[in-house]
């Protein structure tokens, strides 16, 4: 795709962000390949709790890339200033372009691995890559900040699986290397030089393994205090021109919390605060977080009329988001004294939630299902999507089969339940 000019660039950005999450990096790589020829692309996006590191392209290169390569680039990168240099990969020094996003607070870096001997990327091309990456990461940030139930369920499922795999790998490698160390330290071995060298190698491997786990944790989790500070920054504008006094009580804990928990807690508290502010005669609202061994407890307490109910507060996606994380909402309202709302979100994954049934549908099938769910008939869907009626019928049949339902009505109901 030719990216010269603002309209083609905007079209390219739209083509990228309209893809399903798993297809965004491949599409971005395809869009950029004429502008910046490259063999592989990788991203490290710290707002993404379940799969922050992704690669696409030449398997020889992507198989050698890891978070260990991108984490230093993310830490040292300057948002808005693309960096060109070399990276040792697959036995050779390869020119790369690294772009750090300006659109997300927690940071995201895109790496393009180019062929050896490639000419440097000129400034306009690098600026356009920067702009496209900013658009993509802004899209990611919105999805994370809104903590939509369907995406949240996938995040929690993948995060739980990922944590178990990391723990199992860590235990297996630690046990193996500890055994090697025990043998090498044995007095029965008299080759001191060989023993010392092998010991150093094993110790280095253990350190790197633990460092990899630490890097993964830093990406997938947020310090509780930092997470609350981000919430506080988003709440203050809501009462800036209001007579209501906002009191903030951050968590007295140095623990970290999973990113999906932090995102959800922020969204829920903002939603609850807006509902509280709709009341009359509210002069003070206290928002606080408490971190226990097992849960994050978010409290919103007001001095209003004390007439709020659980049913009235659970709307707006609050109950759906809590359900995904096995959380709960409690309301204690005392007429004339105010209301205390408590949202409790477990910190541990008790079990994998059911996967989103829509993830098995292709892009066109999702487009057809979305219109079907609005009550549109085949002819109208065909006209809207510029395809034939027979093609619509084919897609509808595939949708019913993939969703395991027997009618258009059941498919529409399932769409509304998870969308």
What are the tens digits of pLDDT across the range 126-151?
Answer: 999 999 998 888 877 666 655 555 55
Question: Model confidence over 221-276: pLDDT tens digits?
Answer: 778 898 899 889 889 988 888 899 999 999 988 888 877 788 888 888 988 998 89
Give the residue ranges of DSSP H helices in 221-317: 224-239, 259-277, 310-313
pTM confidence score? 0.47
Q: Which among 281, 327, 333, 279 has a CA at the least distance from the CA of 306?
A: 333
With a pLDDT cut of 70, the percent of the chain lying above it is 74
Extract the tokens encoding 19.
């893809």
| Tokens at 82, concatenated | 């693309």
**φ, ψ at 277 (rounded to 5°):** -70, -15
C-alpha span between 371 and 362 (Å, rounded): 14
pLDDT at 228: 93
Which tops the pLDDT comparison, 389 or 90?
389
Strand-pairing partners, residue 87, are 94
- Compute the average pLDDT of residues 21-42: 87
According to the model, what pLDDT value does residue 199 have?
63
Q: Summarize the chain as % helix, strand, coil (round to 5).
A: 55, 20, 30
Cβ(21)–Cβ(365) under 8 Å? no
Instruction: Indicate if the pLDDT at residue 203 is higher than 50.
Output: yes
Q: Convert the pLDDT of each residue in 178-196 to its tens digit.
A: 656 665 666 665 666 656 6
Q: Residue 48 pLDDT > 70, yes or no?
A: no
Model pLDDT, residue 189: 55
The alpha-helical segments, DSSP class H, found in 86-148 are 123-146
């Amino acid at each position: 795709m030719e990216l010269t000019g603002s309209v083609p660039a905007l079209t390219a950005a739209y083509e990228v962000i309209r893809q399903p999450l798993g297809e965004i990096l491949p599409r971005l790589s395809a869009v950029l390949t004429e502008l910046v020829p490259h063999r592989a692309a990788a991203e490290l996006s710290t707002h993404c709790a379940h799969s922050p590191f992704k690669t696409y392209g030449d398997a020889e290169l992507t198989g050698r890339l890891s978070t260990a390569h991108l984490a230093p680039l993310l830490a040292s990168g300057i948002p808005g200033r693309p960096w060109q240099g070399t990276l040792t990969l697959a036995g050779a020094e390869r020119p790369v372009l690294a772009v750090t996003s300006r659109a997300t607070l927690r940071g995201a870096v895109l790496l393009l691995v180019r062929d050896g001997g490639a000419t440097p990327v000129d400034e306009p091309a690098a600026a356009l890559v920067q702009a496209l990456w900013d658009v993509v990461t802004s899209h990611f940030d919105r999805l994370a900040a809104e903590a939509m139930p369907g995406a949240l369920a996938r995040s929690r499922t993948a995060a739980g699986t990922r944590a178990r795999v990391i723990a199992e790998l860590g235990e297996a490698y630690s046990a193996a290397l500890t055994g090697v160390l025990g043998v090498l330290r044995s007095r029965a071995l008299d080759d001191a030089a060989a023993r010392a060298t092998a010991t150093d190698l094993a110790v280095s491997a253990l350190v790197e393994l633990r460092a990899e786990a630490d890097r993964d944790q830093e990406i997938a989790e947020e310090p509780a205090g930092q997470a609350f500070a981000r919430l506080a920054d988003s709440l203050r504008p809501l009462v800036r021109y209001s007579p209501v006094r906002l009191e903030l009580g951050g968590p007295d804990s140095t623990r970290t919390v999973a990113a999906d928990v932090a995102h959800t807690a922020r969204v829920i508290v903002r939603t609850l605060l807006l509902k509280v502010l709709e009341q009359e005669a509210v002069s003070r609202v206290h928002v606080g977080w408490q971190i226990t061994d097992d849960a994050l407890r978010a409290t919103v307490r007001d001095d209003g009329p004390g007439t709020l109910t659980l049913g009235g507060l659970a709307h707006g996606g609050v109950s759906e988001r809590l359900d995904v994380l096995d959380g709960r909402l409690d309301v204690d309202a005392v007429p004339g004294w105010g209301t205390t709302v408590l949202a409790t979100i477990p910190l541990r994954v008790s079990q994998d939630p059911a996967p989103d049934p829509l993830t098995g549908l292709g892009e066109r099938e999702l487009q057809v299902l979305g219109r079907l769910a609005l009550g549109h008939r085949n002819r109208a869907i065909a006209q809207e999507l510029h395809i034939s009626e027979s093609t619509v019928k084919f897609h509808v049949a595939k949708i019913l089969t993939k969703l395991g339902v027997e009618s258009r009505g059941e498919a529409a109901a399932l769409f509304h339940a998870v969308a």
